[in-house]
Amino acid sequence: MTILLATHPAYELHDTGRSHPERPERLKAVAAGVAASELDADLVPFRPTPAPVVAIERVHPGRYLTALQEFTAAGGGYLDADTAVSEESFDVALLAAGAGLEAIARLDAGQADAAFCAVRPPGHHATGERPMGFCLVNNIAVAAAALADRGERVLIVDIDAHHGNGTQDIFYADPRVLYVSLHQYPLYPGTGALDDTGYGDGVGFTINFPFPHGTTGDVYRAALDEVILPVADAWAPTWLLVSAGYDAHRRDPITGLGLAAGDYADMARNLAQLVPVGRQIWVLEGGYDLEGLAASVAATLSSLAGGAVRPEPATAGGPGHEVVMAVSALRRRE
């Protein structure tokens, strides 16, 4: 399989300040992971262009974008206790949101079998009205809304250790988008409870796995086998978008889950089964240990392309199976 790789040197211009975990060096770690994936001719790189404002306005109102642009133009600073921006950050955020849109167009044209968007800033914490958690524009929501508006059934699987509260909020009442999150709980931002399943027409289209500290890869595999795969078989999504956060890796300095690179390889292989070839996009979210990030990206890309690069073995033996059982029971009652 061939993999589109979207990235841009301008992503490093988003300056979060000294010692911030969401730093430009993360993209150097991703690049090391790409090199270690041994894809060679199976990799199709491209530099994305900025997302049109009209595409972003599907999920963020114009007043939100105007306020963000004005704040960065004035020199930037901290939007909240965690989210720092520089003068270049607004333009970089548009470029990050554009990666998913361009990946859709290129996959539509048959240029590859899947896409990986190595972008920053990340996006899944950004709600329609609020930047937070290092996130400015919700990159994956912009792509999902574009697909949904043209009639696609979009499955978003969020594997970041932090719950994607922004993505959930944007699609909470929308039955065109099925949002699934596997995350540590309790952990920032404190959302993603088991019984958060949607609102109105969207009831049943949000699935949360709030895993305890130390959860290992065998639990993630059980969640896929026992819940996510059956749900996808029944709903038949036409596109898969993955919020590819690598901070569930056991080395990550700001989380407490127990995954390793081999677990990301397993997830990539299993998730790829959920949609037709040429209809999946992985978008970088978190991952703050550079060694763990590089290894996990290498394993992901290799697995997506049918390779066998696994810098670390898969993990097992941790807690969390009771969460999978609880989600399964909740789905049977709905």
Active site residues: 125
DSSP label at residue 200: G
DSSP label at residue 243: E
CA distance 334 to 105: 36
- 184 and 215 Cβ atoms separated by less than 8 Å: yes
User: Which helix or strand (DSSP H or E) is residue 209 part of?
Assistant: strand 206-211
DSSP label at residue 185: S
- Dihedral (C-alpha) 197, 282, 236, 308: value to the nearest 10 degrees? -120
Which of 72, 80, 258 is closest to 161 using CA atoms?
A: 258
- 135 and 121 Cβ atoms separated by less than 8 Å: yes
- 235 and 206 Cβ atoms separated by less than 8 Å: no
Neighbours of 80 (CB within 10 A): 11
- 97 and 139 Cβ atoms separated by less than 8 Å: yes
Please list the helix, strand and coil fractions of the chain in percent, rounded to the nearest 5, in that order. 40, 15, 45
User: Considering Cα of 135, then 27, then 243, then 317, what sign does the dihedral take?
Assistant: negative
How far is C-alpha 145 from the chain's CA centre? 15
β-bridge mates for residue 241, sequence order = 156, 281
